[in-house]
Each structure stands twice: as C-alpha cells, then as structure tokens.
Structure 1
C-alpha cells in the first residue's frame, strides 16, 4: 500500500512563451513512494512542466508545494536542495570529462585541499552495483555508448541523494533486457520511499511500472487515472485526441535489385578496438532489413561506416553497385542515401540554426535553393512550411531555432528532411526515439510507404516491437558480427533476446 502523503503538488501551473502557453493551468500531485507516469504527445508540455519542477524554468503563474511547504524553485540548485533530481532526455554531460568527473561535478568530495577521487569512486561503484548501472567511471563520456551515458545521468541524481526523481524518456535508448532491469530499479527505488515521475510514450511500459498516469494534451491536463483502471487504447486516444491504430497492416514485400552490399567489413571503435568483425549482408529494393542487438555491438560503427563518418579498415560497401568505402559524407549522400541518426542533436541537427535551415541542410547548395552560391531563402522557407505541415512538426514558425522544439519534434524535422529527399537507401537508426504513439504510427506508415515505392530501408532499432512489426528480414548483431538471421513471422522476442546475447535458443553459443 502506497503512502498517500503528497510530496509534490503543482497547482494551476502556467508557462507562457511570448503568448504561447506550453503549460496552461496544469495541476499535478505526486505521492511518497509512488511512480507517476506523465503521458502526452510531442510538444504537449510534459518536459516544460518537469523543467519547472527541476528549476530549469520558472512558471508564469501557479505554485509548487514540496512536502507540504510552498516553495519557489528558481534554479536547479534549489531543486537539488529540496531533493529533486531530473534525468533529461538529452543528457547534460561534459563529453571531455570522465564518468566519475561528471557524476561528482558540483558535489566534489575533498580530503584536505585535494579532491578525494578514491572515496567518490568507491561510492559510485557501490551505487552502480546496487542498481545494476555498471559503467567504467574512468572512461570519458565521449568514449561510452548512449545507453551508458543514460546510466551516468541516473547515477548523478542517485549520488546527489535525490528522493524525488524525474525521468524524461529514460528507456528510449535501452534494449528490452535493459528496460526490464531499469523497471526493476524503479520499483526498488519506490519501495525505498523515493517518489518518481516518469515521462514516457510507451504505454506498455506505463502498465508495467506506474501506479498512476497523468495525461497532458496541448498544454492542459486531460485526465488522471490509476493505471489498472485504464486501457492502452484509451490512453492513446486521450494523448493525441483521436483514435490510434496500434497495429500495422503491412503488404507483402515486392523485392527488387540489391541496393546495399556490405562485404567483410572491419571497423574499429573510438577506443581502437574492433567493433565490426568481417560483417557481410545485402539489402534489396522494396525491403526493410531490421538490425536487432544490444547497444554497443557494432550498430554505431556500422551506421558511421555506411555514411562516411568513420574509417573502414578493410572490406567494402557498395551502394547501387558503386563503391562508397571510405568516401566523403557528401559523396555518399549524393549517391542516394538518407540517414536518420540515433543521436539527433549530435549528428542530425544544428541546434542554433532555424527549422527551415535544418530542413534544407542536405540540399541548400543545389538548385532551386541556391543559384551561383546565393541562397533563395524564400524557397527554403516555403519548403520548410510544406514539410512542417506534412509531418505535423509543432512549432510557432519555421524561422525559430530548432533548439526551441521538443525532442520529439526535433526528431520529426530529421525524418521530414531525410524521407523527403527521395533516396534509394534509407538508414533509419532509432527513427521513433522519443516520439508519441501518434507520431510513431505516422512514421511507421511513412517508412512502409517508402518500402512500397521500392526504397531499401535499413532499420536499426532497440525497440523489438518496432523491429518485429516493420522488418521483412531481421539480422541480429552480437560482438560485431551476425549471430543469426530470422523472419519476423518465424521468431519471437525470446529467440531474438537469446540471439542478441550470442546464444542460440538450444543453449549453444555462437563462435
């Protein structure tokens, strides 16, 4: 039985951005030891509301009560003193610092006049073991995977002693096994009396982990429910304001010629350790080839090798029978390759640039957008307005910085740009990361439409449901090579999970 004492009360919260109300009279409560899911479509105001609670933003109106006392949370330092910690969707880490340095930054332990790294490292090690968040504390953040960076963010707030914990899309980059472990961690934290707010778009996840769910649409509260009392379909409808088809109708694939050929590919990672070890596969027109695998088994290096972002030590990549091995990024792109990267802010967008400019990044130097090296800004703006409407990108204007958009809408900008370029090969790496169910439905249909047009689609995703629903074939990466190839109709989550760890369903291990 959960404690019914409210540790958080947000009353009539309004956040106005120059006339646009991102939060419009929202009320929210959080009880001690409770896991509350905060649900809403992209741009609904969830992250804004939680940024107010964590001190990153100040409300235009309303009040916040923490443990029965009205407070003013002017900055994150005050929030931390109140025991509030937030893990953001886009990590707030210093790439050039080590894991240890990032965790203790601002909370350094000293021994005399010196930093006591040994004591801090021991505390972090104990937290890592206790919550199964293993990560090398001495590695630089730039050297670890996205999933490991997620663990660092979680360790940061645990290290700071937060007992009111906010997680913004925490499982977006985790594998099914890691999600299961993370859910166990959340339950353990709640059982210890910590209170948790979980921003997520994953309805099944809400069912597994949350006690209550609060739904926000267009900046307003539209309902609060006990999770056990409400269906997934009802939650989806409340979130987007319409019926959402949760199942995909996929026509049989019409397979054409080979578009992508990967032969004997050998690539090292940032630590100069082999990441791809003689990898070979083909992808044909009209086909979606899904790549499943636990993060860190060569997915990043594969995408970087295919798009020219990393050096290929040996082997070959052929696109439309043309050699692209170790060619420049633009030359590869101009051979008809579109790429939706896993990390939208590092590799997909230039954050200070406008939405219009980001939508034109791959084509600004060509006609009709450029003539004799002079940009046609009117055409670039018109192009952006068309895509904003077509892909339902929620913005106040195409000339706004793309950094002003929610994470999900930033993802839509990349997807709109890449799918509108009419490429023969589409590389989609975590294409629906951080998107709500309505947007996921739309993007999945867009990818299937590209398949119908005869495009070859390489889908790399840590969402097994996405892999299973969209793929015509699935190859599983383990330790830099293929541990198995299956068809969605002939496999299961369990078999894929075994292949992802390098173990056949009979119990033998792949060499």
Structure 2
C-alpha cells in the first residue's frame, strides 16, 4: 500500500551553517498514529516545519498523496489537508470555543459574502463536536475552560479546515493524567475514522501507549522506524541517546533535617483583586524534595516568584532559615544560597546576549577564589566555566559562544549548572527538564537527588506528573491558588489520585493541616 506521506532525503542547512537535517527519511501510512522521537537537536521540529511549509528544505522531496509537493507556507499545507497543533496554544481567550475554531475562516453569506453566517457557523461547529465526541460547549469562552478542553479546541480548529493529517507537537505537556487519557481516546477515535496523526513527544511511555509506529531521529538523521508492539522503551531510548537510559530514579531513604523554608498564609493578589495564591502554608526541610503538582496556571508561578523575590505577596510570611525574606531584593535572595531554576530559561534564566561563560559565573565572580586583589582572575573563571560545560554536557564549540546561540535544551543545562554550582541550601526547580531530552533528564534528576542527599531543601514544580512522583518525598497540589493537598509520596499514591486533586474534584484539608 502506498504511503500517505513520504519525506525523502531531507536536508536543511541554515544560512549560518547550522545543519538541522542530514538526509531524513519519514514514511507515514494513512490512518496510523506515527510517533516522531529524538533528542533535542535531532531535527524533529525542523522536519515538521518543512512539512507544514514553515521552512524550505535545502535538499530532498516531500510526497503527499502520491504527488510531489512543495509548500510555500502553512496556507498551502492547510489547503492540501495538513494541520498542526503547536505545543503552545494559539487561542483568543476572550472569544468563545466556536469563534476560536472558525477564526479567520468564518462562514459568510449575502452579497459578495460580506456578512458572517452565524447560523451556519453554529450548525457546523455543533456537528463537528458531535462527530468527534469532544465534550465542549461551543458558546463557552475559552478563558473559562480547562487546559484539556483548550487542547480539543486546537484539534477542532485544524479539523474544521479539512485536515486529514494532523501533527501534534508535545500535546500532553500541560495535561493531567485524566486529560491525557481523554486526549488519547480522541486521537484513537480520529485514527479510527482514517485520520492520520504524527505525534511528537519526549514521553516514551505515551509513545508505547498511543502509537502504531515510531521513527527515531538522531543528529539530523533517521536512525530507524519501529513497529510499536515489537519494541520497548529501552530500545527506543538506546537508539535516541546511543546508550542505555535509567528510567527509574534511584533514591535512598533519607531522614529530613531542620526546616529550611516555611510559608505562612502567603497570598498573592493581582491588580484586579483576584487571588492568585490563597493563604498557602507549607514547610520544606533539609534533605527532602517537596513536589508541587497542578495544572499550569493554578498558582505555581506565583509561588516560585514570591519566594525568589520576583513578585510581591499581599499577605503572609516567607521564612528562610527563620528569617522573613519578603521584601528583600532579588540580589539579596540570590546571595543567601538560594538556587533558582526558573521555568522560562530565555527571559529569567539566562542572558542570551552574553556568553555561556558569563552566564555560568553570574553568582560567583565576586568569590575570593576568583579574584586577585581587586581584579578578576579570568583564568580561574574560564576553568570554572569549562568544568561545568563538560560536567553538564553543554553542546557548544566554546565557552565564549553566546548563550542565545544554544538550543533550548543546552541553554537549560547552563542554567542548571550555574544554580547547582552555588551549592544551595534551598533549591527551587521550576520545570527543570522542560524541553530536555531523555538522556539529559536522567542526568538532571540525578543531580537534584544528589543535592537532596547533601541536605539541600528542594522545591520542585513540574507539569510532568511522572517527574513529581518519581523525585518527591512529599507532594503538594495547587488548585485555583490553594494548597488543596499535601501528601506523603508512598507507593499507594497514584498519578490518578493526584490528578483528582489537580482538577479540583478532591481536596484534602486534613492532610494539609497535618503536614504544616
């Protein structure tokens, strides 16, 4: 049977000489769910941009429905039946579900089609929702629906425009386990109706659950295409990384030490008077990892920003080593051996216009060991930078390269290396492995455990529930700015159970009180 899509010998060399694809081959059958996996920099994103008309290949050809095609932009791709759902939602929050789906392609009526046909729009969207079994109210505003529902709106947007091949880029990055299960049911339903799915993800467990076949990319090349039911996570990771990867985090039992950080009734209110954090109280002791779970947008960012001085609390106390640090400057807090891996490495984690070396020495250049009298000892600083570049496997030709020239995953390694190097008493890690490949994830997890074992108190905030459950000693859940559960991470605690708290279906005030 002829393939629906063939990408043959795809090369992509950018004007600056960067080679993203080195002869990639991809074949996708009609009606299948085809997973595309690989490390950061493997060429996945570039390949999909070429397919969707966002990039032009330097060499190679794309064959779709038996015909050679060259898309000059997304509009060309959409007109031929391709659709792409990006990792970051592209929705207008103030518009309704229906208005978002048809945005830019509204049905028209009347003379020269000057008028919007609201009746036809409503009928078409209701039929679309009914046909694909999505639980959505077309008249509800997007800002009031759940993250999982927003994901469905994005999928319906491409279906409304006639897509038969749909590219899903990291579609479960911000979903709860329940929402992920519902999304997978929707994807399987689409495949059952002869729609074709290309599924890009870092999560190999999901690859095994949802896909029919898997194509592995490495360093811009196609390594192999596998039949899912004939392989396993270990083989896939070995092909991706070039070595065996340890999936289970090995963590020894450790008795927690004294309290390092305590929050007492901390609230954060926005300019409209809405509480983003609502009387949150918790303690983190030395030698333990407290993981914070929750659907993104439920107060996690505000929690981190209040502790690190990036935001002001409207009430409450943040006690670090029994000292209230609310009101202290960011610089003062950073000088108190508090490490912070921010969720956005590009805006708050690194300075993209300075070198890798300068980013790494940000907090330590005033240390006496790096000074000779009033002058910087540039030789020692350079040795320090080279040491951590090697230790954290930052892929770069030189420590003098600009941080902005690094891939997202390598920039994340620079940020983590800098924060770990300061030997923090308190480490706040927000989304520490976001956008990082499985080999680097394994290394980062080991480093976090190492700090915990050395007596560091770790506050871990992650959208990856598997990361929270594998690393944490205790787990707190935020919902609508409230700490609705604070649970011991025992073998009996399941991701599904945590998911109920994340969705606001359950709350455990007695557990929170018991752990304060």
- Give ranges in structure 1 of 5+ residues lacking alignment: none
SS of match in other structure, 2:7: strand
Question: 1:483, 1:39 → 2: CA distance?
Answer: 36
Give 1:232 shift. Answer: 1.1
Please give the root-mean-square deviation of Cα atoms over the aligned residues, in Å: 4.0
**2:148, 2:183 within 8 Å by CA — same for their partners in 1?**
no
Which residue number corresponds to residue 243 of structure 1?
Answer: 244
Question: 2:472, 2:512 → 1: CA distance?
Answer: 23
Greater alpha carbon shift after TM alignment, 39-48 vs 495-504: 495-504
**2:352, 2:402 within 8 Å by CA — same for their partners in 1?**
yes
Q: 1:76-130 deviations in whole A, cap 9, x for unaligned?
A: 3322222223233456679999998876665466676577799879877876785
Give 1:316 shift. Answer: 0.7
Which residue number corresponds to residue 41 of structure 2?
Answer: 43
- Equivalent residue runs for 1:59-74 within 5 Å: 59-74=57-72
Give 1:145 shift. Answer: 9.2
Does residue 495 of structure 1 match 2:497? yes
- Give ranges in structure 2 of 5+ residues lacking alignment: none
**2:96, 2:138 within 8 Å by CA — same for their partners in 1?**
no
When residues 148 and 380 of structure 1 are mapped into structure 2, their CA distance, relative to the original with a 3 A threshold, is farther
Which residue number corresponds to residue 9 of structure 2?
Answer: 12
Q: 1:332-376 deviations in whole A, cap 9, x for unaligned?
A: 223222222334345434555554454455567888899999999
When residues 444 and 364 of structure 1 are mapped into structure 2, their CA distance, relative to the original with a 3 A threshold, is same
**2:486, 2:511 within 8 Å by CA — same for their partners in 1?**
no
Which residue number corresponds to residue 131 of structure 1?
Answer: 134
SS of match in other structure, 1:38: strand
**1:65, 1:71 within 8 Å by CA — same for their partners in 2?**
yes
**2:142, 2:150 within 8 Å by CA — same for their partners in 1?**
no
Which residue number corresponds to residue 430 of structure 1?
Answer: 431
- Equivalent residue runs for 1:273-422 within 5 Å: 273-351=274-352, 354-360=355-361, 383-422=384-423
Does residue 54 of structure 1 match 2:52? yes
Give 1:270 shift. Answer: 6.9
SS of match in other structure, 2:336: coil
Give 1:473 shift. Answer: 1.5
SS of match in other structure, 1:196: strand
Which residue number corresponds to residue 32 of structure 1?
Answer: 30
Give 1:198 shift. Answer: 1.1
Give 1:206 shift. Answer: 0.6
SS of match in other structure, 2:208: helix
Question: 1:24, 1:344 → 2: CA distance?
Answer: 28
Give 1:153 shift. Answer: 5.0
Question: 1:368, 1:100 → 2: CA distance?
Answer: 62
Give 1:211 shift. Answer: 0.6
Question: 1:117, 1:336 → 2: CA distance?
Answer: 59
Greater alpha carbon shift after TM alignment, 419-428 vs 491-500: 491-500
Question: 1:390, 1:465 → 2: CA distance?
Answer: 25
When residues 149 and 394 of structure 1 are mapped into structure 2, their CA distance, relative to the original with a 3 A threshold, is farther
Give 1:197 shift. Answer: 1.0
Give 1:134 shift. Answer: 7.6
TM-score, normalised with respect to structure 1: 0.84
Question: 1:440, 1:350 → 2: CA distance?
Answer: 23
Question: 2:398, 2:151 → 1: CA distance?
Answer: 32
Question: 2:383, 2:98 → 1: CA distance?
Answer: 47
Which residue number corresponds to residue 196 of structure 1?
Answer: 197
**2:176, 2:502 within 8 Å by CA — same for their partners in 1?**
no
**1:424, 1:455 within 8 Å by CA — same for their partners in 2?**
yes
Question: 2:266, 2:94 → 1: CA distance?
Answer: 29
Give 1:495 shift. Answer: 3.0
When residues 77 and 277 of structure 1 are mapped into structure 2, their CA distance, relative to the original with a 3 A threshold, is same
Greater alpha carbon shift after TM alignment, 17-26 vs 355-364: 355-364
Greater alpha carbon shift after TM alignment, 495-504 vs 457-466: 495-504
Greater alpha carbon shift after TM alignment, 202-211 vs 49-58: 49-58
Q: 1:114-168 deviations in whole A, cap 9, x for unaligned?
A: 777998798778767853478997578xx99987876665455345433222222
Greater alpha carbon shift after TM alignment, 239-248 vs 326-335: 326-335
Which residue number corresponds to residue 441 of structure 1?
Answer: 442
Larger Rg: 2
Which residue number corresponds to residue 456 of structure 2?
Answer: 455
Aligned positions, number: 505
Question: 1:224, 1:423 → 2: CA distance?
Answer: 44
Give 1:430 shift. Answer: 2.0
Question: 2:431, 2:95 → 1: CA distance?
Answer: 26
Question: 2:433, 2:416 → 1: CA distance?
Answer: 9
**2:485, 2:507 within 8 Å by CA — same for their partners in 1?**
no
Question: 1:183, 1:380 → 2: CA distance?
Answer: 49
When residues 328 and 134 of structure 1 are mapped into structure 2, their CA distance, relative to the original with a 3 A threshold, is farther
SS of match in other structure, 1:295: coil
Question: 1:330, 1:133 → 2: CA distance?
Answer: 46
When residues 346 and 249 of structure 1 are mapped into structure 2, their CA distance, relative to the original with a 3 A threshold, is same
Give 1:405 shift. Answer: 3.8
Q: 1:428-475 deviations in whole A, cap 9, x for unaligned?
A: 122222322211111100101111222110012232322222111222
Give 1:193 shift. Answer: 2.4
Which residue number corresponds to residue 482 of structure 2?
Answer: 481
When residues 165 and 369 of structure 1 are mapped into structure 2, their CA distance, relative to the original with a 3 A threshold, is farther
Q: 1:320-341 deviations in whole A, cap 9, x for unaligned?
A: 2221224333332232222223
Q: 1:4-34 deviations in whole A, cap 9, x for unaligned?
A: 5422100011122455432212110111121
When residues 180 and 358 of structure 1 are mapped into structure 2, their CA distance, relative to the original with a 3 A threshold, is farther
TM-score, normalised with respect to structure 2: 0.84
